[in-house]
Structure 1
């Protein structure tokens, strides 16, 4: 029993940590910590040198490129104003519109009911072509009556002509007979003169009747609406069943025009030039025109006239410009820019 206790005491003594052992272990831990810190500091310094080297080199290269003189050919060219490539340099630019000098809204000279319209927008028409037809029933009847009146008057004249010939023969016979009385001679002469006057009156009546027939024919022709000149129909303003009149008579079914025709050969340019620069423009001056719809297409043109009046509100003067060539792409009211040339 005593031996067992001695053994346990010996074991406990072996398990105890001696103070000197504690100090030795603590010293080792501090030493290991210092070594780790030194290694970490060295690694950080090495990484700093490694990474900062390329960055500094790059910055030096950039600064060197900035300070280095540039070759003359690498200098950026200064921007220059755009100049149109033309034979003659322009001295003035302006803008305006395409206008038609010859355009008409075709209407009727009389009021009537539209029975037929023969045009559509975009249709090409020639001078005298029938555009529309009005109801002409009454006008046709009036014309027939006028012709019948002329025929009746001509028949009456022919009868008077026969009576006059008979009166002349009778007067000649009475005048040649010695046994005819003075009263018979006077009566025969009076009859001859009366028939002569009646014949002249009949001829005048025939002339009046023929004039009336001509007037009725013109009224009938007024029911047929024709193109006053050749061109293109740009607007169709009426339909069959509507009433057309020379002037507005009120009502939603009354029209003052059948259609609008534009002569495409009469197209020209109208521009407003600032009055401060109007001295640079003169009749006959060459002009380059560019439509807004086709800016790369140069149209040759020339100044027709300078309108001798100024716009007080805009301080501009209107200039008419002739298009030297016609093209179906040029349309009325298109926007256009022009450049007036030196010569």
Structure 2
């Protein structure tokens, strides 16, 4: 039979176990029903905290801006001299003097080369002597006819001989003048291939004269751009020889014939070249501007997402603290930006980061995008619209 002390100890153990079990049950209920637990004066209950916790999906945004956007066709071209001519004599002769330095810039009419004039001067003297004699014969024949002592036939023969003598004298003067070679226009003299004392045949080039200002650029574009091009349109030109500079010019001529072999249209533009930086023969990358929009709406390319159907481009805009998906039409792309032609207004707040967890209508927490994502102040922007010749094609917007 158990003692009273043992019975009392057992009762306390049972009571303690009951208290622990009751505390555990109360704790479990408190976890399931957070609002049953008081949180102190002025502190919101846990049942109220989900509203504060729903701060929204964090996103970065920018404002849609307006910029000047140009449609351009890109092509490869070659620089050509405005004027270029070989300096060659029209008659054979021996070189007796050069009046230029190779690479020298000369004005129109400047004396360049002298050929030996000895023979030509003698021929001119003979022709002038024959002319003087023919003039005397003609004068005597005319006087005799006037006195009635001469015949009309003799006068006619003298007239013909005088005309021949005058022609021979003129030819001799011209031949003598051809022995002095002058610059037909202002330009730069090239390298010469002969020396003083060389006997050159008629037509052999001694050097070249090249006009460098302005300079021309020839390039070709696909025939599908025929209706988009016209004279006066501007071109941006870059050359590998001067990679840090961009040159501008204007189209002044369009070939009336489309090349049937490549289905391309040839154009020619002029570029100011006062400092003589550009040289004929240089390889050129040409961007022809076909249209300009001064107030195009532009956003960073990072703003584009797929629409709900996956077939169109869309963006998220922020309205009253929530995200709204809008289907948009895009235009030119350039420098990490894209033109929006439909579906967006300038100044609207556009999401550029945080799309992964974003849904249409979701509440958002807005953070301004870093400056590298912000569209710059309005400025001229260009877009590639075609690949370089020989097989150019408009780039996908």
Q: Residue 84 of structure 2 corresponds to which residue in structure 1? A: 103
The 1:209–1:292 alpha-carbon spacing in structure 2 relative to 1, beyond 3 Å, is same
Secondary structure of the 2:113 match is: strand
Identify the match of residue 126 of structure 1 among 73, 87, 107.
107
SS state at 2:275 partner:
coil
- Asked whether the 8 Å contact 2:145–2:151 carries over to 1, the reply is yes
Q: Within the alignment, does 1:238 sit opposite 2:194 as a pair?
A: yes
Larger Rg: 1
Match of 1:116 in 2: 97
Superposition deviation, residue 151 in structure 1: 2.1
Report what 1:22 is aligned to. Answer: none
CA distance in 1, matches of 2:100, 2:94: 17
Distance across 2 between alignment mates of 1:280 and 1:292: 28
Aligned to 2:271: 323
1:279 CA displacement: 5.6
**Where does 1:1-343 land on structure 2 (aligned, <5 Å)?**
87-160=68-141, 168=147, 192-194=148-150, 197-247=153-203, 256-275=204-223, 280-311=228-259, 314=262, 316-323=264-271, 326-341=274-289, 342-343=291-292
**For structure 1, which segment, 192-201 or 218-227, has the greater mean C-alpha deviation from structure 2 after superposition?**
192-201
Q: Which runs of 5+ in 2 are unaligned?
A: 1-57, 61-66, 293-397
Please give the root-mean-square deviation of Cα atoms over the aligned residues, in Å. Answer: 3.0
Aligned length: 229
Shift of 1:221: 1.2
How far apart are 1:96 and its partner, in Å?
Answer: 1.6
TM-score (norm 1): 0.58
For the 8 Å contact 2:248–2:271, the answer to whether it is kept is yes
Distance 2:101 2:90 in 1: 21
**Per-residue deviation, residues 18-74 of structure 1 (Å, max 9, x unmatched):** xxxxxxxxxxxxxxxxxxxxxxxxxxxxxxxxxxxxxxxxxxxxxxxxxxxxx978x
CA-CA distance at 1:284 after TM superposition: 2.4
**CA 1:203–1:97: 2 relative to 1, 3 Å:** same
Deviations 1:133-185 (A, max 9, x none): 112211111111111122233344455566567xx3xxxxxxxxxxxxxxxxx
Conserved 8 A contact 1:107-1:245: no
Structure 1 residues 315 and 278, CA gap change in structure 2 (3 angstroms):
same
Compared CA separation, residues 312 and 121, structure 1 to 2 (3 A): farther
Q: CA deviation at 1:260?
A: 0.7
> How many angstroms does 1:132 deviate by?
1.0
2:214 and 2:271 in contact (8 A); partners too: no
Q: Deviations over 1:172-213 (max 9, x none)?
A: xxxxxxxxxxxxxxxxxxxx2535543453343223212211
> What's the secondary structure of 1:89's corresponding residue?
strand
What is the CA-CA distance between 1:321 and the residue it aligns to?
Answer: 1.9
Alpha-carbon distance in 1 for matches of 2:144, 2:235: 80
Please give the alpha-carbon distance, in whole angstroms, between the structure 1 residues aligned to 2:83 and 2:96: 28
More helix by share: 1
Name the SS for the 2:245 alignment partner. coil
Distance in 2, Cα, partners of 1:133 & 1:211: 25
CA distance in 2, matches of 1:277, 1:156: 72
The CA distance in 1 between the partners of 2:254 and 2:151, in whole Å, is 70
Q: What is the TM-score of this pair, normalised by structure 2?
A: 0.50
SS of structure 1 residue aligned to 2:241: coil
Alpha carbons of structure 1 residues 337 and 147: separation in structure 2 relative to 1, 3 Å: same
The answer to whether the Cα contact below 8 Å between 1:91 and 1:280 also exists between their aligned partners in 2 is: no
Q: CA deviation at 1:217?
A: 0.9
User: 2:139 & 2:98 partners in 1: Cα distance?
Assistant: 46
